[in-house]
Structure 1
Amino acid sequence: MSADVSATDRPVPAMGADGGEPQNAWLWGVDPAEAAGPGLPQVLSPGERHRMRRFRSARDRRAYLVAHTLLRVALTERVPGVPPAAWHFEAGPYGRPELAGPPGAPPLSCNLTHTDGFVACVVTGGAPCGIDVETVVREPGIDRLARRLLTVGERVRLEALPAGARRERFFRLWTLKEAYTKARGLGLSLPFDRIAFALGPPRLLHAPDEEAPGIWTFAQWAPTPRHIAAVAVRGPARLQIAAVPPWAPPTARSGPGTDAMRNVEGGPRWSTSRSAG
């Protein structure tokens, strides 16, 4: 069963009840170097600012700042009555930040990711969700990483590809596994070499303690020529993307950001699926 997917360069409507229909999942992504500037809202908590200052490089501090600002503003786009600075997060049992307030706010679920040159976040109406983006050119030792992160079957299929195609396939699998484990809230406690995906379109085959692999919705895309991203949502979902930060002026929303989204398989902008059970 395919999920509904749309792209937009305008703010999406405020969240409402889905009544059993596929749940909306809103996604935002941006280059932190382009998003950081005088218009960036000052909404981080004291704890977030403390963690940001612990990064040694200015580039990493900027990525953290933009990613956490993006998530807070994205949440307020969904619930306009809550100011971005009022959202409260607490670490879950495996270290994942979980939305924990303010009191009376809708039971949203969210996740963020940042890497060199791109940050992104996803917000749903409560369905567990995860998002990951990786820099495709970052890691030279694909074979070494594959032995640690892929199943035996995934490695066999990877090694059968021409050398030029291996890197893209590896990063597709890696980002899917990161997004899925983040959605489950278990992080690195789930061994990646026991989580199996099929590609084109992406679907979960099996994972530890996963009784219903077919219930998940996955999407994958290349936000820039240097990055591959993946999102996982538990249950049916309509995936919508705003390719610029919500605080950007209206003129920026008609810019090239949305057009920069391209599918890693060379087809439509997105590659999306429900898993097969």
Structure 2
Amino acid sequence: MSQTFGTACLWIAPAKEAPCHLSVLSPAERIRAEGMHPAGRPAFVTARGLLRRRLARMTGLSPEAVPLTQQPGQAPVLEGHAYGPYFSVSHTQLDGRPFAAVAVSSVCPIGIDLEDPARAVDWRRMAARRLHPGEWAAIAARDEGAARQMFFDLWCLKEALVKLMGASLLPVLSRTRIAPDRPPRLLDNPIDGRRHVLALAHVRRRRLTLGMAAARTLDWRLYGAD
């Protein structure tokens, strides 16, 4: 068993505009939520509410006072906390219902991605055009069901890497190469040259795919994942 350097805690929850989440948002987050399309608002509100409550426990601040800020087109950051706690968020739809995922760690930078592998997309075209040629060859050699799941496994892991590294999506998709072992391994990473550590889970009765990436080997603890 690989040595772990600490834990990362991850929560997955149905997304709702619940008062417990709305009550801890900053004024800027409330304005942003009000201006969002109604379909996207529950996931944003739930993710921010969960995130603020978890970070509050780690920083000793009230949830409303957690200094989360976000510039347009960029990921949220925790002002004044360059060395942790670290966090990542994701959301997706399952049977038309939104779900939000939030991960936090005090150990090292992390990234997560949550996807529904049954959603209607031209995944073969995306795999052929966007993924590393070696990954596409491995996908193409499998039967339909296994190939589709492998595509979404790799996609989730690469989205998690994008969030971890703060990189652009397309170069990570096409230039990094992942071996879909158990656990998955990052074989080639010309983006920043680091051997980031990957993990994969199939949650919500195996209907959602969860990709996790970290700068070090962590013990991922999942809550609300079924």
Alpha-carbon separation, structure 1, partners of 2:145 and 2:179:
19
Closer, same or farther: CA 228–143 of 1 in aligned 2, 3 Å? same
1:217 is aligned, of 189, 197, 221, to: 197
Whether contact under 8 Å (1:3, 1:238) holds in the other structure is no
Normalization by structure 2: what TM-score? 0.87
Deviations 1:194-252 (A, max 9, x none): 11111122111112233331xx2222112224311111110121222222xxxxxxxxx
Paired residues in the alignment total 220
User: Residue 110 of structure 1 aligns to a residue in which SS?
Assistant: strand
> Unmatched 5+ residue regions in structure 1?
5-21, 244-257, 261-277
What is the correspondence of 1:1-277 to structure 2 with a 5 Å cutoff? 2=2, 22-33=5-16, 36-40=17-21, 42-57=23-38, 59-79=39-59, 81-91=60-70, 95-101=74-80, 107-116=84-93, 117-188=98-169, 190-201=171-182, 202-213=184-195, 216-224=196-204, 225-243=206-224, 260=226
- Identity over aligned pairs, percent: 32
1:114 CA drift (Å) = 1.1
1:152 CA drift (Å) = 0.5
1:3 CA drift (Å) = 5.7
Q: Which moved more, 1:41-50 or 1:84-93?
A: 84-93
Alpha-carbon separation, structure 2, partners of 1:90 and 1:128:
17
Aligned to 1:270: none
Deviations 1:156-208 (A, max 9, x none): 11011011211111100000000011001124363411111111221111122
Alpha-carbon separation, structure 2, partners of 1:126 and 1:189:
28
User: Residue 190 of structure 1 aligns to a residue in which SS?
Assistant: helix
Write the letter of the residue equivalent to 2:190.
P
Alpha-carbon separation, structure 2, partners of 1:189 and 1:168:
20
Alpha-carbon separation, structure 2, partners of 1:139 and 1:77:
39
Closer, same or farther: CA 49–3 of 1 in aligned 2, 3 Å? farther
C-alpha RMSD of the superposition: 2.4
Normalization by structure 1: what TM-score? 0.72
1:51 CA drift (Å) = 2.1
Alpha-carbon separation, structure 1, partners of 2:46 and 2:116:
17
Write the letter of the residue equivalent to 1:65.
V
User: Residue 76 of structure 1 aligns to a residue in which SS?
Assistant: helix
Q: Which moved more, 1:218-227 or 1:120-129?
A: 218-227
1:27 CA drift (Å) = 1.1
Write the letter of the residue equivalent to 1:164.
G
User: Residue 152 of structure 2 aligns to a residue in which SS?
Assistant: helix
Alpha-carbon separation, structure 1, partners of 2:174 and 2:120:
18
> Unmatched 5+ residue regions in structure 2?
none
Aligned to 1:269: none
1:87 CA drift (Å) = 1.2
